[in-house]
Structure 1
Amino acid sequence: MLPPLDFKDIQEKFSSHFRPWHRSFQFWVRTADIYTGYKAFQLRVSFEKDVQKQEAMWERQHELAAEKIYAMCFDLGGFFLKVAQIVGKPDLAPAAWVRRLVTLCDRSPATPFTDVQLVLEKEFGRSITEIFERFDVDPIGSASIAQVHRARLRGDKSDVVVKVQHPGVQDLMMTDIHNLQAFALYMQKTDIKFDLYSVTKEMEKQIGYEFDFTREANAMERIRHFLYENNKKPPVLVPRVIRNMVSRRALVMEYIDGIPILNLGDEIAKRGIDPGGKIAAVAKRKILESLTLAYGQMILKSGFFHADPHPGNILICKGSEVGLLDYGQVKDLPENLRLGYANLVVAIADSDPIRVSESYRELGIDTLSKCENEQLELLKLAETMFDTKLPPGVVMLQPFSEESSIKKIAVQAFPEELFSVLRTVHLLRGLSVGLGINYSCAEQWKPIAEEALYRAGRLKGKDIKPRTRRRSFLRRL
């Protein structure tokens, strides 16, 4: 006699099999709608000669597209929340996009508690009540790959954070990335003269690592050790891993108390301080300096760095201390790229176009130019790609406008390994613009870069220009 059919099980298998196909269909239909909308608009706006009317038309078009991009990212979730974080930056995307997409931070639908409990009990081999004295059912936040809960371990006095992976999320995210790679190939052949495909390949590699929380725990410990050992006071706070509570899909770590950086303005106003005043500006600059110092040390001294400083991963704690969360995306730069990038940082800080050109060749960034002032445009391109400071009078970069360096100089090849540095710098620039501070990470990083080059035997003490802020490094030399 045949066993009875389990229709619920059949329905779930059918749904899981066709979900990737459904997501692909949704992506291409929506992307084609947004893209063709812009192409048709470009033709329409070309007939309007009045500059002010053109700008108003562009603003309406950006608002229309922003709603469509928001709807796609919100409905599909997962990987597209990461896309929203990258695209929705105040220095890069149209203002209408930024206003809409910034609200998507940590907006992934939460996994039901019953499923969270099953994952935890399977990963740790014990029931939740055996492990935890208290476990908050509602998550603190839910992102594309995992969600986090506040809890307290049995016999402990301090709270912890429990990170739990969403079941079945890996296959869906890989489908999304492969669709994006196909679109990137099309865009770089038609509209954007930049090696977008290499960028998406590096994204695929980096995001693939995020599904292993044991790797994340090791990365968190390594970065915490480096920053705490190399500074009297670490520039950022890094959570401590609870070592016997780590598995591939679950991770328990120290709870750091703070407010998300996106809520900083509201918190300052609550305390009766003018968010646009001098006191607030000093606090914001201190926060930005702490964060960029940590990244300068990680990238240029260690080569091993946290590669995802989007606002959802940054907490502001007591005394304007900065907490840096989520070590799923980290990068270990090869030595040649670390030193090549150090050379580029010095070149940007010194506004040295010849050294920029040499650094590009050393890094394997292949460019093609037909413009007259090639070296000057290369310097502008380097500043656009690898520094956080905006040019005088500019409040928002438009890298794909006809006047931008990236239109005048085609980037034919870009090393995948360097994408994480590029993305990190752009996220830091987004934070500086969001905080209202025009700030150069290249200028702050120059002494760290010079020290890295000196220790590698590529720079002599006499080649380092003595400035007051570099006395400590010169004293060490």
Structure 2
Amino acid sequence: MSAMVGTLPDAFTNEFLSLTDHLPVSRLEEVYRIIQRTFQKPPKVIFSEFDPEPLASASIAQVHKARLRSTNQIVAVKVQHDGVDRIFLEDIETLTAVAEQVSYWAPDLDFRKFAEEWRESLPRELDFCHEHDALERAGKKLREAGNCCIVPEVHHELCGDLQWKGRSKLVAGGERRFWAFLGAHVFVMEFIDAGPILDLGKAEFCAKHHIDKHRVLTELLHAFGIMAFKDGMFHADPHAGNVRLVVDPTAPGGAKPVLLDWGLIREITDAERLGLAKVFHSLANFDIAGLFDVLESLGFSLRQELVNDDLKRDLIEKARGVVKDTINRHKTRENAREELAEFKDWPRCIIFFMRMLQILRGLCVAVDAEGMPLLQIFSSHAREALQEGSRPAGRAVVGALLVFLKINMTRDLR
């Protein structure tokens, strides 16, 4: 909600922004206890310096600046709040039950897909080994592509191994399973001295450092296109608390975006990746037939008696509205009601890609970057992915997509 600048009133988004990295902090004694429990050694053995004041604190963890005793390197130490795993995993059960009731009494407010997605993603987000791997994978892919966005490097020897045990609880509708995590609550990464990405919205800041905010944000959007269409994994929560900024005169636009907090990511299969690429290629070229063909391959179909040319045109116009060039806050708010398309019945890979895209769009609007060509940038990477998939080395992937299409063509979404 903090990213919905121009859609929600500014007073709302400003208030919600504090929830991204300014939540109440865990006491230093608790932080030390978690570090010792994870690494089986006192913090003073690992760190020669440890700043007691966290750099940031969000719902799952807080980050401290420290110095490694072994190398004298300045690092960032991410420490999970004690007991938050149990609280979050119980909360998701409550959310699921609420979503079931809401969908029954108000079918237009069906959030069950979102609840199910968070049921699957929360255990991964609470597992710092999973985030460790995502940081490495994304950093490597962006460096190979020549993108300037910064992803912190991780310290392999300082990430607690994941250990878990399960306990089950009977709830309405069947047995649900909770997972209690016993490790992977701390990991150490490269410290990057970065400022708020929202500084791009300050004319005096950009003038002082000779920054072209449109060029900087273009590089950020390209990074997400590379991750999604060339790798099949992307950061799913790029709000202002997770995207920072390093001033660098040598970088495109004079600054480099920094992507932090990789706990919430989205991974898609090769079939979904190419299907999503086809969606953007169809949107960019206003290819109505192509869009409906690929949506069916991804599991979305309408009863034939409901489908007509007007419905198809309306759907593609709404979808294009979500990814069209950014405009100012006032016009965004005026158009918000028309642009919020009904995505609740769309394939999950598209729902959460569009969610990520809306957060990025909100970030651009928040810094008054009008005219950011979202559709043009993402469709360029989609086109490259489709071209790569059509080459001999990609025939197996294309074959998998065709099989996926055949299996899902018979689905009838009510």
Q: Normalised by the size of structure 1, how large is the TM-score?
A: 0.69
Any idea what the Cα deviations from partners look like across 1:61-104, whole Å, max 9, x if unmatched?
A: xxxxxxxxxxxxxxxxxxxxxxx44xx51144344432432233
Amino acid at match of 2:333: M
When Rg is computed on C-alpha atoms for both structures, the one with the higher figure is 1
Structure 2 residue identity aligned to 1:175: E
Provide the rounded CA distance (Å) in 2 between the counterparts of 1:388 and 1:156: 48
* Shift of residue 191, structure 1, vs aligned partner: 5.3
Q: 2:295 aligns with which of 351, 360, 384?
A: 360
Following the alignment from structure 1 to structure 2, what is the Cα–Cα distance between the partners of residues 186 and 93? 26
- Displacement, 1:186? 4.5
Question: Retained in 2: the 8 A contact 1:91–1:429?
Answer: no
Question: 1:300 aligns to what?
Answer: 229
8 Å CA contact retained: 1:305, 1:330: yes
Change (3 A) 1:113 1:431: same
For 1:412 and 1:89, the matched residues in 2 are separated by 18
Distance 1:404 1:445 in 2: 19
- Give how far 1:363 is off: 2.1
Q: Counterpart of 1:451 in structure 2: which amino acid?
A: E
Q: Could you tell me which residue of structure 1 aligns to residue 383 of structure 2?
A: 450
Cα distance in 1 for partners of 2:240, 2:300 equals: 29
- Name the CA distance, whole Å, in 2 between partners of 1:362 and 1:394: 35
Correspondence 1:111-126 to 2 at 5 A: 111-126=26-41
Partner of 2:150: 237
Alignment of 1:283-362 (within 5 A): 283-319=212-248, 320-362=255-297
Question: 1:298: Cα distance to partner?
Answer: 0.6
Structure with the higher helix share, 1 or 2: 1
Residues 1:129 and 2:65 aligned together:
no
* Identity of matched residues, %: 29
Q: 1:443 and 1:188, CA in 2 relative to 1: closer, same or farther beyond 3 A?
A: farther
Where do 5+ consecutive residues of structure 1 fail to align? 1-83, 460-477
Is contact 1:163–1:251 with CA below 8 Å preserved after alignment?
yes
Determine if contact 1:131/1:154 at 8 Å carries over to the other structure. yes
Greater strand fraction, Structure 1 or Structure 2: 2
Deviations 1:130-149 (A, max 9, x none): 11111001100111111000
Query: In 1, Cα distance between the equivalents of 2:204 and 2:197?
Result: 14
1:122-201 to structure 2, matched below 5 A, reads 122-189=37-104, 193=108, 195-201=110-116
Tell me the TM-score normalised to structure 2 length: 0.78
Change (3 A) 1:270 1:445: closer
Report how far residue 388 of structure 1 moved.
Answer: 5.3
Which residue identity does 1:376 align to in structure 2?
Answer: R
Q: Does 1:420 align with 2:352?
A: yes
What residue identity is the alignment partner of 2:379? Answer: K
Residue in structure 2 matching 1:250, options 155, 178, 186: 186
1:339-360 residue CA offsets vs partner (Å, 9 max, x unmatched): 1110111112223333222232
CA displacement 1:162-195 (0-9 Å, x = unmatched)? 0001011012112333333344344445557365
Give the CA deviation at 1:364.
1.9
Unmatched runs of 5 consecutive residues or more in structure 2: 161-183, 249-254, 393-414
Aligned mates of 1:191, 1:312 — CA distance in 2: 33
Name the structure 2 match of 1:54.
none
Instruction: Give the equivalent residue in structure 2 for 1:432.
Output: 364
Following the alignment from structure 1 to structure 2, what is the Cα–Cα distance between the partners of residues 96 and 124?
43
1:374 is matched with 311
Structure 2: which amino acid aligns with 1:240?
Answer: E
What do the CA deviations read for 1:243-289 (whole angstroms, capped 9, x no partner)? 111110100010011102134445x5257659xxxx65xx2112211
